[in-house]
Amino acid sequence: MADSILQKKSVCVVTGPTRGLGRSIAYQLSKKLPDGSLFILLSKNKALLDEIAGLIITHRDEIRVVTSVFDQGSSDQGQFDNVFQDCLVKAGAHVNEFEQAILVNNAGTLELLELSRDLDNVNAVNVFFSTNITGCVVLTAKFLQVFSATAMKARVIINISSLAAVSPMKSWLLYCMAKSSRDMMMKVIGEEEDNIRTLNYAPGPLATDMSVIASTETKDPSLRAWFEDQVKNKTLVECDQSVEKLITVLEKNSFANGAHIDYYDEA
């Protein structure tokens, strides 16, 4: 059986860690990784970044945390080029201190929830893909460069996926495309790179702001009604509950590179 991913002193990058699933991932992983590990938290919202950083440090003062205001949808190349080096300098850290580097690609958006025939606004479609695909690809490339196969003993990339990556959902074309593309990215990186583990984790339908948006903005009537019912009856999956499943998967570390594992799959 492979060693648990969570036993190694790590530098752990989490995108979108200020709300919902990303916040839960950052906090729960900070309780699991060894002393001396470093968390790099990336988000557009400085106030919420400071809040989650403070929460982690309060409960694990043996863990270091640095934050960076970062917009994954930006077209500013400089923002991507220097983000990891700047965070390491801010932490007074060097890649050689760590056994392992972890990237959790969590940041993403849900809208536009339109039928395919209505997706005719070039700018709106470009904005969606800038955040959900382009920025994710470039940030991941920078992660692979800074935390290279020669610099690190082990590397892990966790893509927060969705049922939408493998099952078509009416009026969710862009979201389905983005999630399936990111799933394939994990498969390709798993083939290209040495000493790396890649995972697509679909966290289930979560009790977050996104589900509320889905219950009001989804153009397909049957899918919108399903979300309305889930939100009304409070039957959605809690973020902490889903992260517990993810942690179990990481501790077992038996998945194939690029695997798509759903919250509802057997552990």
Mean pLDDT (whole number) for 249-267 = 94
Per-residue pLDDT reduced to its tens digit, 84-110: 999 999 999 999 999 999 999 999 999
Please name which of 155, 134, 220 lies closest in space to residue 8, comparing C-alpha atoms: 155
Residue 169's domain comprises: 5-110+122-205+239-262
Tell me whether residue 196 is in a domain.
yes
Mean pLDDT (whole number) for 241-267 = 95
Per-residue pLDDT reduced to its tens digit, 175-222: 999 999 999 999 999 999 999 999 999 999 999 989 999 999 999 999
Query: What is the value of pTM for the model shown?
Result: 0.96
Tell me whether residue 23 is in a domain.
yes
Torsion 48-40-111-199 (CA) sign:
negative
Which position has the token pair 């965070």? 87
Give the whole-number percent of the chain exceeding pLDDT 70: 99
Instruction: Please enumerate in sequence order all residues whose Cβ is within 8 A of that of 99, keeping only pairs 6 or more positions apart, or say none.
Output: 8, 9, 10, 152, 153, 154
Tell me whether residue 157 is in a domain.
yes
pLDDT tier, 267 (very low <50, low <70, confident <90, very high otherwise): low
Other Cβ atoms closer than 10 A to 122: 8
Burial class (CB in 10 A: 0-12, 13-18, 19+), 220: middle
Per-residue pLDDT reduced to its tens digit, 61-75: 999 999 999 999 999
> What is the model's pLDDT at position 130?
97
Tell me whether residue 104 is in a domain.
yes
Order of strands, sheet of 64-69, starting from the edge strand that comes earlier in the sequence: 64-69, 38-43, 10-15, 100-105, 154-160, 196-202, 259-262
Please name which of 265, 263, 206 lies closest in space to residue 230, comparing C-alpha atoms: 206
How far is 184 from 200, CA to CA, in rounded Å? 9
What is the tally of structural domains in the chain?
1
Given a cut of 60, is residue 1 above it in pLDDT? Answer: no
* C-alpha dist (Å) from residue 142 to 53, 54, 147, 160, 198: 23, 26, 8, 18, 16
Tell me whether residue 218 is in a domain.
no
CATH number, domain containing residue 198: 3.40.50.720
What rounded mean pLDDT belongs to the chain? 96
Mean pLDDT (whole number) for 156-180 = 97
Tell me whether residue 195 is in a domain.
yes
Helix (H, G, I), strand (E, B) or coil at 182: helix
Tell me whether residue 141 is in a domain.
yes
Tell me whether residue 243 is in a domain.
yes
pLDDT tier, 3 (very low <50, low <70, confident <90, very high otherwise): confident
Mean pLDDT (whole number) for 146-166 = 97
> What is the model's pLDDT at position 211?
92
How big is the CA angle at 195 (ends 191 and 201), to the nearest 5 degrees? 65
